Amino acid sequence: MPARTSHSADHKNRGETSETSTVHAAAASAIIISARGAQRLKNGHVWVYRSDILSADGVTPGAVVRVKDPRGRQLGSALYSSSSQIAVRMISNGVVENFPALLRERIREAIAYRQDFVRNTNAYRVIFSEGDFLPGLIVDRYNEILSVQILTQAMDAEPVRAAVLAELTERVQPASIAERVEPHIRELEQLPARASGLLLGTKTSTIISMHGVQLHYDAGTGQKTGAFLDQRENYAAAAQYAHGEALDIFCYQGGFALHLARHCSKVIGVDSSRPALEVADRNAALNKLEIEWMEANAFDLLRDYSASGRQYDTIVLDPPAFAKNRKTLETALRGYKELNLRALKMLRAGGTLVTCSCSYHVSEKEFLEVISEAASDSRRTLRLLEIRGQAKDHPTVLSIPETGYLKCLILHVS
Ligand code: SAH
């Protein structure tokens, strides 16, 4: 296990480091931001919105820039995007002369953090963008395959890509590295189209394991075919309380259902995606588990099942993000309420509800309120067993609220 570098998390966004940055003036161009933007950075955030840019003369797309406040005071160094509303993403409070070297150091720190906190799995997020002070870069490990996503102009620059690949190859020694391209993100960043594919090696599929459960992974296509690694720790937590007859609604490839099956007499997984259910079925076979998979619209199925009086002991609700932005919040909250209300009507006394929201725009407080309303409407009493978030390999930095998005409540129902 490589030793941790000397830079604490607190340093990452703050001081310069001897290896990668100096106090000497660098050739980087400068951006001036408004007092409001500067205040945001002082509070520990790393983004500056385009509306807070006062001048960015001569700055090229994806450049490493120096950031100054209106009085000309240096605030640090950042990556610039010429097209995103998030125009500036800070990478250091100092002057960065050699960005690829800084990047390689941050990757080592991210790997060391996982070595400290990730347990019982060979599938986890190695790099979580702003959560690791590597804005625009996401890397997931699926056993011996790494999956890389590059989300910004700066991270797409050739020397930057080369540094990322070199450091990952050296430290993780993967059999292959696959790039997953989200075409609409490249469009938004005004980057040339690019196909998903392998950047290293030839291996595209493998078997991952978590808490003794095995799952197929296939990097072979451009769609999201990975697992929802952010829920990994919640699978194990949910399994502790699961019992009797269980429903896993929005089951995808069966993450919750597979973990529940060892503790329940019967498990049904429901999803509207047939390809996801096909993998779920192969996953059940891999683990020699009997799980029933149903292709259905969750809203229709819950309406029918609750109307016909079906009862369960454990229900998991893990819908896709309903609120894509603040404007759709009200509709999203109605959606969460309806799902949870129906699920609560179907739970036997002493039952367990595991209910999730991955919408960043729905706060934990709002989510708790909605679940509480659903409880009073269905005349049930809910006792909070656990309030959980995303797995620790998707770190939430307190000064960057956008790094935290997943809510997972485990409730006792009576
Ligand atoms: N619980 C899963 C992740 C769920 S992601 C896991 O831990 O792996 C959300 C899932 O909801 C996706 O698989 C998607 O296919 C499914 N989905 C989206 N809308 C749906 C609907 N109306 N009815 C049923 N499933 C839906």
* 56: phi then psi, degrees, rounded to nearest 5: -140, 45
Distance 252 CA to ligand 1 centre (A): 5
pLDDT, position 224: 58
How far apart CA 150 and CA 170 sit, in angstroms, is 19
- Going by C-alpha positions, the residue among 354, 341, 369, 343 that lies closest to residue 412 is 354
Regarding the beta carbon of 252 and ligand 1, being less than 6 Å apart is answered yes
Distance 160 CA to ligand 1 centre (A): 35
Distance 174 CA to ligand 1 centre (A): 30
Regarding the beta carbon of 318 and ligand 1, being less than 6 Å apart is answered yes
Question: And the tokens for 158?
Answer: 């050739």
Residues ≥6 apart with Cβ < 8 Å to 133: 12, 13, 46, 91, 106
Question: And the tokens for 37?
Answer: 């933007």
Q: Contact 76/60 with Cβ under 8 angstroms?
A: no
The residue nearest atom 3 of ligand 1, judged by CA position, is: 252
Question: And the tokens for 78?
Answer: 């950042």
Question: And the tokens for 260?
Answer: 């529940």
pLDDT, position 7: 35
- Determine whether 184 is exposed, middle or buried from the number of CB atoms within 10 Å of its CB (0-12, 13-18, 19+): exposed
Atom of ligand 1 nearest to the CA of 358: 5
3-state secondary structure 72-114: CCEEEEEEECCCCCEEEEEEECCEECCHHHHHHHHHHHHHHHH
In single-letter form, the type of residue at position 296 comes to: A
The length of the chain, given as a count of residues: 414
The residue nearest atom 9 of ligand 1, judged by CA position, is: 320
Q: Contact 162/182 with Cβ under 8 angstroms?
A: no
Q: At what angle do helices 158-172 and 99-117 cross, to 10 degrees?
A: 30
Q: Residue 59 gets which letter from DSSP? A: P
pLDDT, position 221: 55
Q: Is 117 helix (H, G, I), strand (E, B) or coil?
A: helix
Residues ≥6 apart with Cβ < 8 Å to 373: 337
How many C-beta atoms surround the C-beta of residue 68 within 10 A?
18
For residue 379, how far is the Cα from the chain centroid?
Answer: 34
- Going by C-alpha positions, the residue among 114, 196, 199 that lies closest to residue 162 is 199
How far apart CA 412 and CA 386 sit, in angstroms, is 10
Q: Put the strands of the sheet holding 29-33 in their side by side order.
A: 47-49, 86-92, 74-80, 64-68, 29-33, 53-55
Q: What pLDDT, in 10s, does the model give residues 57-68?
A: 999 999 999 999
pLDDT, position 175: 98
Q: Is 408 a catalytic residue?
A: no
Q: Contact 248/267 with Cβ under 8 angstroms?
A: yes
The residues of the chain scoring below 70 in pLDDT are 1-27, 221-225
How far apart CA 364 and CA 359 sit, in angstroms, is 10
The residue nearest atom 1 of ligand 1, judged by CA position, is: 251
pLDDT, position 323: 82
Atom of ligand 1 nearest to the CA of 228: 8
For residue 301, how far is the Cα from the chain centroid?
Answer: 28
- Determine whether 62 is exposed, middle or buried from the number of CB atoms within 10 Å of its CB (0-12, 13-18, 19+): buried
Atom of ligand 1 nearest to the CA of 356: 1
Q: What is the dihedral of CA 105, 108, 112, 114, to 10 degrees?
A: 120
Of 264, 356, 358, 408, which one is the catalytic site residue?
Answer: 358
In single-letter form, the type of residue at position 51 comes to: S
pLDDT, position 324: 83
* 381: phi then psi, degrees, rounded to nearest 5: -105, 130
- Going by C-alpha positions, the residue among 411, 349, 319 that lies closest to residue 374 is 411
